[in-house]
Amino acid sequence: MQKNGGKIMLNLKAIFLLLAATIISPEAAIAADYKLNQFTLVYEGAISKNVKGKVNIHPVTYKLNGTAISANVYTPADYSPSSKYPAVVVAHPNGGVKEQVAGLFAQRLAEQGYITIAADAAYQGASGGLPRNVDKPANRIEDIRGMADFITQYAGVDAGRLGLLGICGGGGYSLSAAQTDKRFKTIATLSMFNSGLVRRNGYMDSQLSTIQERLQQASDARAQEAAGGAVIYAADTKLTDEQIAKLPFDLYRQGFEYYWKTHAHPNSTFRYTMSSLLDLMNFDATNNMDLINQPLLMMAGSNADSLYMTQDAFKKAVNAKNKELFLIDGATHIETYWKPQYVNQSMEKLIQFFGNTLK
């Protein structure tokens, strides 16, 4: 940390470590340009148009506590509103939007006969809310409950067969949501990221010595907002390829590549309001894990430097039914988002898991 004119300034390394990003590898192929897809989807195999008799996508907007939420609903092939289908809510990563990995898994699950929903978090993506990019745990948990509210009222959905899939930060918030919301009959996570733990301690406990300084910075940011001043953002930086290559963790190096290059979307950003840290830094996704009594599947790459978070949460889920920890052999955190061999492994487990628990 450096002090300049009485204000604490994050040095470049601290900014890196504050990011809630994710990972990718140099051999990644460039994803389709979002501008060439009418739904602005950026993942491989994305729906480009709705075709009768195939999986279709339905952009929707609904209100959650007065805020407009932008979401995509995916319906199975030969969907009929008069039939009954199991449904899955898909929660996106920190910094991500519904058009990226959340959409990929929502579409793939719809191919298996599920009605699925992926929504942008409030204050993020195409959803409403000001100031932009507020990132508070209570909001993200409420977003997941809001998706459940909407999809369980959707024509054809069997509300008694509702599953939940959370990815990265969405995985941590899904664990918290499912602890108390028993509409979710079964829970799965992919590359779970415990946002509060990392915001507080730094990635892999790399910022323990600066906790109080960062809390003061967040407090000052809130005070400035309350006084009508400009909103201050964390993780609001642009890096060169050389700077990215020097980042200390796979998660951040590959995350920049995924979110800025191969799967870039204009609504996706790493930045969040500095004042959000007041809520983030006293949150932990693994608190009260004993409240989860539903079936639980937690998936993570065997080579992911974020694996420790999944292992910690899994260990604490002492009352989960038929819980399983599945390691995706050879994958890093971000590679689970897009590499076909790893996505296919995850889908095989999800097909089995949701098939058994949402009968």
Lowest mean pLDDT across 6-10, 30-34, 52-56, 338-342: 6-10
Interval 71-98 mean pLDDT: 98
Question: Of 196-200, 231-235, 246-250, where does mean pLDDT reach its minimum?
Answer: 246-250
Report d(CA 234, CA 238) in Å as an integer.
Answer: 12
Confidence at residue 330, expressed as pLDDT on a 0 to 100 scale: 97
CA–CA gap between residue 185 and residue 313 (Å, rounded): 18
- Assign 359 a pLDDT band (cuts: 50, 70, 90): confident
What mean pLDDT do residues 315-334 have? 97
Contact (CB, 8 A) for 92 and 170: yes
Residue 299 has pLDDT above 60, yes or no: yes
The whole-number average pLDDT for the span 185-197 is: 98
The answer to whether residues 342 and 301 touch, using CB atoms and an 8 Å cutoff, is yes
Residues 195-208, mean pLDDT to the nearest whole number: 95
Please tell me the least confidently modeled range out of 237-246, 271-280, 341-350.
237-246
Residues 253 and 256: their CA atoms lie apart, in Å, by 6
**Range 109-113 average pLDDT:** 98
- Kindly list the strands in the beta sheet with 115-119, ordered across the sheet, starting from the edge strand earlier in the chain: 56-64, 67-75, 115-119, 85-91, 157-167, 186-190, 295-301, 321-328
Q: Is the dihedral of CA 115, 121, 124, 130 positive or negative?
A: positive
What pLDDT score was predicted for residue 32?
Answer: 62
Q: Are strands 115-119 and 85-91 parallel, antiparallel or unpaired?
A: parallel
Q: Where are the domains of the chain?
A: 2-357
- Are the C-beta atoms of 89 and 165 separated by less than 8 Å? yes
Average of per-residue pLDDT across 212-232 = 98
The token pair that represents 90 in the structure block: 């898909």
Segment 294-309 mean pLDDT: 98
Residues forming a β-bridge with 318: none
Asked if the model's pLDDT at residue 166 lies above 70, the reply is yes
Beta carbons of 80 and 157 less than 8 angstroms apart: no
DSSP assignment of 4-44 equals ETTEEE--HHHHHHH-------TTPPPPPPGGGSTT---ST
| Out of 23-32, 95-104, 169-178, least confident range | 23-32
189 CB-side CA count, 13 A: 33
Question: For the residues of 168-180, what is the DSSP string, one character each?
Answer: THHHHHHHHHHHH
Task: Say what percent of the chain tops pLDDT 70.
Answer: 91
**Cα distances (Å, whole numbers) of residue 61 to 118, 121, 139, 187:** 12, 12, 17, 25
Average pLDDT of the residues of the chain: 92
Between 187 and 21, the more confident residue is 187
Q: How far is CA 282 from the centre of its chain?
A: 19
Lowest mean pLDDT among 19-23, 201-205, 239-243: 19-23
pLDDT at 31 over 80: no
pLDDT over threshold 80, residue 8: no
Kind plus residue range of the DSSP H or E element containing 103: helix 101-110
Confidence (pLDDT) at 111: 98
SS3 216: helix
- Residue 297 has what pLDDT? 98
CATH homologous superfamily of domain 2-357?
A: Alpha/Beta hydrolase fold, catalytic domain (3.40.50.1820)
Q: What is the rounded radius of gyration, in angstroms, for the C-alpha atoms of the chain?
A: 19
Whole-structure pTM value: 0.91
Give the dihedral sign, CA 184/187/192/197: positive
Does the structure show a pLDDT above 80 at 27?
no
| 327 pLDDT higher than 50 | yes
Question: Phi and psi at residue 229, in whole multiples of 5°?
Answer: -80, 180
Q: Compute the distance between CA of residue 223 and CA of residue 229 in angstroms, rounded to an integer.
A: 9
